[in-house]
Amino acid sequence: MQVYETSRIRNVVLLGHSGSGKTTLAETMAFESGMIKRRGSIENGTTISDYHPIEKQKQKSEFTSFLNLDWRGHKINLIDTPGTADFIGEVIAPLKVSRNNIIVLDAEHGVEVGTDLLWNYAREYETTSIIVVNKLDHPNSNYEKCLEQAKERFGRAVVPVQFPYSEGEEFNAIVDVLKMTMYEFPEAGGKPDKLPIPDSVKARAELMHNELVEAIAENDESLMDIFFEKGTLDEEEMIDGLRMGMMNNLIYPMFCVSAERNMGTGRVMGFIDNAIPSPEEGTPSRLIDGNTYPITEENPPSLLIFNHAYEDHVGDMMFFKVIGGSVKPGDDLYNNRTNSTIRLSSLFVSQGNKRVEINEIKAGDIGVAVKLKDCTMNDTLRDKSLDIEFRKVTYPEPTMRTAVKSKVSGDEEKVGAALNQLAKEDATLLVDHNAELKQLIISGQGEEHLNRVKYTLENRFKLNIEFYEPRIPYRETITRAVKTQYKHKKQSGGAGQYAEVYFLIEPYMEGMPPPADLNVRNTEEIDLEWGGKLVFNNCIVGGVIDNRFMPAILKGIMDKMENGPLSGCRARDIRVSVYDGSMHSVDSNEAAFKTAALMAFKDGFLKASPQLLEPVYDIEVHVPADYMGDVMSDLSTRRGQIMGMDSEGSLQKISAKVPLSELNRYTTQLKSMTQGRATHKRAFSDYAPVPKDIQDRVMKETMEEEA
């Protein structure tokens, strides 16, 4: 396998809404480059990128696929990604390391919600962007609508380089206003004829050519001087200007293709070679300390592992990008996370579902390693002479959760181990062996994401599992102060047990004064691991309770707070002052005082107007204006509080606060309500009191479960 210099490498990730034709475009680009001799199809399950069984079954991308193409002496690492928001984790890491992307738009639908989400991530990672309008041969193709929506959403930096001579079923020619040439394709697609631009569209082509020249010149002072001097720019000057404009996110050139009919693809690949920056020209890698690190062959070896995949007969595969120098089989690199040395064994480059062995991978290139012990995503591997760590990829919060259990008794440990393995491979899958709720809960980016987990558990790990509704992690607190006491007395032959405690139990608020009429001798302020605080005051005078029993009293209170009296959920924000009690010289011990404290706390808690708190989430919904009313009405039925509305291009953004208990399967219902055209993200906000009817219902369910 050929080894490429950094200057001849181009890393490009394909982005676009599901159904926009990314996989077909990748297939056609692979065919045009000569990597494959015959194009496969999604319908027949023969494409090189969508090769997983579940992708063939559903006829859509669910995993990232890596291809490497040779185009006129340049290597294009082409990364095909899913277009469904449920699999956003498959997109973010490749986007971070590629630094270049192609936004694929469906000529019928234009800028869709999924595209909008991906665009935001592209901007976050400061990547250069090309826009490709695909499916111009579709009967409902509308190039002008696509251009208008792209400018509206992505800004005036969107500049068309091409437009279709005709579109719809008669599409067979593209007018290129950079080269001022028309490409006319044979019916079967492939290599076009280069023709003069027809008189019927010549005025339009000249106008768009001038707009392109002006857009390029206004972003570069030296080109502006040439433009003023000559009144135009030649093709080489325009290519240089486009490269600089794209690197600074000042220009997003737009191209036209029909990937299905192989029309326009070669021109896009030629532009990637000529205008997209190489890794050493693009944005340097960022370090965790905020500094940047150049991508160059001159530095000692270093790499970032950004993707973890698994395949039968291969096992775990780590995809990495070489940042500095070059790496070879047998190299020893230092792992920052584990503080250990890792030896690289065989190295490969990926061709879809095939791996090709290679003897060296240089800076800027993407490779695959197997059998990397104790390595995972976001690991920095480096030469020992370096002291650097690359910034980690960050992922969005989950949008859907479910509880999981085995249908086969005794397989619980196998299910847990399998899920932990999947979480290593998928950073957007969170696995929680929740002791509080007594459930195994997984959280992901939506129903399709979680269904992929279920499919994998059943087919790869051969486990029989089911999903069911997860419990809500409520919290309990009190709303008024009470005094309570409990005497624990037990005599059963031999040594007995005796302890008596008197408590003042109060709702805790930051900055509240000490309790009146009590002499506080000592205060412990405990930040609870589940949120909130417990403040414990020792107000004992006269030695009625020995100080050595105070830890046992606190332990009894904590035990009940971990398993609250109302719902069995954890309690928070409470102040307990122990101010009186009694003990016995023989029968008093730590166990007795722990029991007395637990019972006194429980009794006082239930008398102190207890309040159940529920987790509330900040919700952000991106939705086309046509569905805005339906979405807002639905949020209201979920006890949601609308916090604001805003527009982002052609989409509307709704911000709201919604209780977690009302968000079960919300992702699925939102898609159903908007025909799959809305997305949402969520993040925990705080805890808030639940309505009385819900509190009563939860208490009743808890009592029934205990009974």
The secondary structure of residue 426, as a DSSP letter, is -
Three-state DSSP at 42 gives: coil
Q: Average pLDDT of 345-368? A: 94
State residue 494's pLDDT score: 66
Q: What does the block give as tokens for 128? A: 């250069």
Q: Evaluate if residue 491 carries a pLDDT over 80.
A: no
**What does the alpha-carbon distance between residue 598 and residue 569 come to, in Å, rounded to a whole number?**
15
CA-wise closest residue to 107 among 77, 76, 146, 72? 146
Q: Average pLDDT of 92-109? A: 94
Mean pLDDT score of the chain: 93
The structure tokens 């015959």 sit at: 38
State residue 707's pLDDT score: 67
Q: Evaluate if residue 705 carries a pLDDT over 80.
A: no
Which neighbouring-strand residues pair with 612?
A: 476
The confidence band for 282, taking pLDDT boundaries of 50, 70 and 90, is: confident
State residue 307's pLDDT score: 95
Q: Average pLDDT of 485-512? A: 90
Question: Alpha-carbon Rg of the chain, whole angstroms?
Answer: 32
pLDDT > 70: percent of the chain = 99
Three-state secondary structure of 529-595 = CCCCEEEEEECCCCCCCCHHHHHHHHHHHHHHHHCCCCCCCEECCEEEEEEEEECCCCCCCHHHHHH
Is-contact 79 109, C-beta < 8 A? no
**What does the alpha-carbon distance between residue 661 and residue 404 come to, in Å, rounded to a whole number?**
17
Which neighbouring-strand residues pair with 400?
A: 444
Q: Evaluate if residue 176 carries a pLDDT over 70.
A: yes
The confidence band for 237, taking pLDDT boundaries of 50, 70 and 90, is: confident
pLDDT > 90: percent of the chain = 79
Is-contact 400 447, C-beta < 8 A? yes
Amino acid found at 180: M
More confident: 537 or 697? 537
Q: What is the pTM of this model?
A: 0.88
State residue 464's pLDDT score: 96
Write the pLDDT tens digit of every residue in 520-563: 999 999 999 999 999 999 999 888 999 999 999 999 999 999 99
Return all residues near 640 (Cβ < 8 A) that are at least 6 apart.
619, 656, 657, 658, 662
Q: Evaluate if residue 493 carries a pLDDT over 70.
A: no
Q: How far is CA 374 from CA 31, 32, 389, 589, in A?
A: 37, 39, 17, 48
Is-contact 98 82, C-beta < 8 A? no
**What does the alpha-carbon distance between residue 42 and residue 59 come to, in Å, rounded to a whole number?**
6
State residue 485's pLDDT score: 97
Write the pLDDT tens digit of every residue in 283-301: 889 999 999 999 999 999 9
State residue 221's pLDDT score: 79
Burial (Cβ within 10 Å: 0-12, 13-18, ≥19) of residue 8 = middle
Q: Give kind and range of the element (H or E) at residue 632.
A: helix 628-637
State residue 112's pLDDT score: 85
State residue 675's pLDDT score: 82
Three-state DSSP at 30 gives: helix
The shares of helix, strand and coil residues in the chain, as percent rounded to the nearest 5, are 30, 30, 35
The secondary structure of residue 394, as a DSSP letter, is -
Structural domains in the chain, sorted by start: 6-197+251-283 (3.40.50.300), 294-382 (2.40.30.10), 400-471 (3.30.70.870), 480-608 (3.30.230.10), 612-703 (3.30.70.240)
Burial (Cβ within 10 Å: 0-12, 13-18, ≥19) of residue 51 = middle
Three-state secondary structure of 62-87 = CCCEEEEEEECCEEEEEEECCCCHHH
Q: What does the block give as tokens for 343? A: 């030896």
Q: Give kind and range of the element (H or E) at residue 600.
A: helix 590-607
Q: Average pLDDT of 556-579? A: 94
The structure tokens 């990637």 sit at: 272
Instruction: Please provide residue 534's backbone torsions phi and psi, each rounded to the nearest 5 degrees.
Output: -120, 125
Q: Evaluate if residue 648 carries a pLDDT over 80.
A: no
CA-wise closest residue to 56 among 435, 531, 339, 459? 459
**What does the alpha-carbon distance between residue 24 and residue 5 come to, in Å, rounded to a whole number?**
29
Q: What does the block give as tokens for 461? A: 């790990």
More confident: 649 or 593? 593
**What does the alpha-carbon distance between residue 88 and residue 429 come to, in Å, rounded to a whole number?**
11
Burial 177-201 (b: 16+ CB within 10 A, else e): bbbebbbebeeebeebeeeebeeeb
CA-wise closest residue to 42 among 32, 140, 52? 52
The confidence band for 679, taking pLDDT boundaries of 50, 70 and 90, is: confident
Instruction: Please provide residue 41's backbone torsions phi and psi, each rounded to the nearest 5 degrees.
Output: -135, 150
Is-contact 488 592, C-beta < 8 A? yes
Q: What does the block give as tokens for 49? A: 């990128």
